[in-house]
Amino acid sequence: MLLSLRLLPLTLLMAAGAQAADVDVQVLDRDGKPLAGAVVVLETSSPGARPAPPAELVISQEKMKFQPEMAVAHLSTKVRFTNLDRWDHHVRGGQVGPGGVYVDASRGYSFRLAGRAPGKAPSSAEQSFTQTGPQMLGCHLHGSMRAYLYVTDSPWAAVSDAEGRVRLAGVPNGAARLRVWHADELIETPQQALNVTDGLPAQRLATQVVPRKPKKASEELKIPGY
Ligand SMILES: [Cu+2]
């Protein structure tokens, strides 16, 4: 009974002629290997239902790292930064260009979050955005802390997994464009056009990205208090 009730709205939607499909994408690096941590954004002006973006996204600072280190937020999403460590951190954010440098170091936002006191709620602050594009996040106190936040006005955006894959669900049929961004890219990847239909095969997005190797454990900074 519950199942049939839940299926009802979808059935009505399909009867009204709003055709939609899931778009599977695999992002590849310069050597044709799966590229993890790439942001894939789909843009379309085809009529149809849009998924509601999350109202809030939490980015934590824990054990000297931002979590997650690559996040996507819609323009309407409020991003809450929370410091879970026992010592202070900064949040410094701004638009980033190729090669990992701030587009304009005098712009962006910066605030300090006090360390967590035992038995108390962690310090946090909320940030909202008016500009789309990639941002770099850092901490003035700890140079090793780095993360990225991609702000978009599309409801279809996600970060690729270890296999370079992303699924964008419920995209209306018709013409669309795929945009890809990676923190290690030195040149922009051209947008890829596609026509969304039922039974669309997985889209391969080739980039010129050479991903930086993850840091060795010996290069990781010692965590104070651990
Ligand atoms: Cu810090």
- The per-residue pLDDT for 16 is 47
Confirm whether 29 is domain-assigned.
Answer: yes
Q: How far is the CA of 140 from the centre of ligand 1 (A)?
A: 7
Same domain, 63 and 143: yes
Residue 13: φ, ψ to 5°: -60, -45
- Confidence (pTM): 0.86
pLDDT tens track for 58-78: 999 999 999 999 999 999 999
- Measured in angstroms, how far is the CA atom of residue 147 from the centroid of ligand 1? 12
CA of 5 to the centre of ligand 1 (A): 49
The pLDDT value given to residue 79: 98
Co-location of 35 and 62 in the same domain? no
Domain-embedded: residue 110: yes
Tokens 């712009």, located at residue: 107
* CATH code of the domain containing 143: 2.60.40.420
Give distance in angstroms: CA of 148 to centre of ligand 1.
15
The CATH code of the domain that includes 163 is: 2.60.40.10
User: Does the residue 45 lie in any domain?
Assistant: yes
Per-residue pLDDT tens listing for the chain (226 residues): 444 545 555 544 444 456 999 999 999 999 999 999 999 999 999 999 999 999 999 999 999 999 999 999 999 999 999 999 999 999 999 999 888 889 988 899 999 999 999 999 999 999 999 999 999 999 999 999 999 999 999 999 999 999 999 999 999 999 999 999 999 999 999 999 999 999 999 999 999 999 987 655 445 555 554 4
Q: Are residues 201 and 138 in the same domain?
A: no
* Residue listed under structure tokens 């596609």: 194
| Residue 93 belongs to a domain | yes
Q: Is residue 146 part of a domain?
A: yes
111 CA to centre of ligand 1 in angstroms:
11
CA of 162 relative to ligand 1 center, distance in Å: 27
Residue 195, domain extent: 20-51+155-206
Question: What integer pLDDT is reported at residue 98 of this predicted model?
Answer: 83
Residue 83 lies in a domain: yes
Tell whether 69 and 130 lie within a shared domain: yes
Q: Ligand 1 centroid vs 79 CA: distance in angstroms?
A: 18
> What separation in Å is there between the alpha carbon of 64 and the centre of ligand 1?
6
Measured in Å, residue 115 CA sits from the centre of ligand 1 at 10
Q: How far apart are CA 56 and CA 53, in angstroms?
A: 9
Shared domain for 46 and 116, answered yes or no, is no
Please give the pLDDT value at position 43: 98
Q: How far is CA 6 from CA 10, 15, 164, in A?
A: 8, 15, 32
Distance 91 CA to ligand 1 centre (A): 8
How many other C-beta atoms can be found within 10 angstroms of the C-beta atom of residue 1? Answer: 5
Using CA atoms, how far apart are residues 133 and 98, in angstroms rounded to an integer? 12
pLDDT of 221 reads 52
- Same-domain check for residues 73 and 123: yes
Distance 195 CA to ligand 1 centre (A): 45
> What are the residues whose beta carbons fall under 8 Å from the beta carbon of 193, sequence distance 6 or more?
175, 176, 177, 178
Please indicate, yes or no, whether residues 25 and 68 belong to a single structural domain of this protein. Answer: no
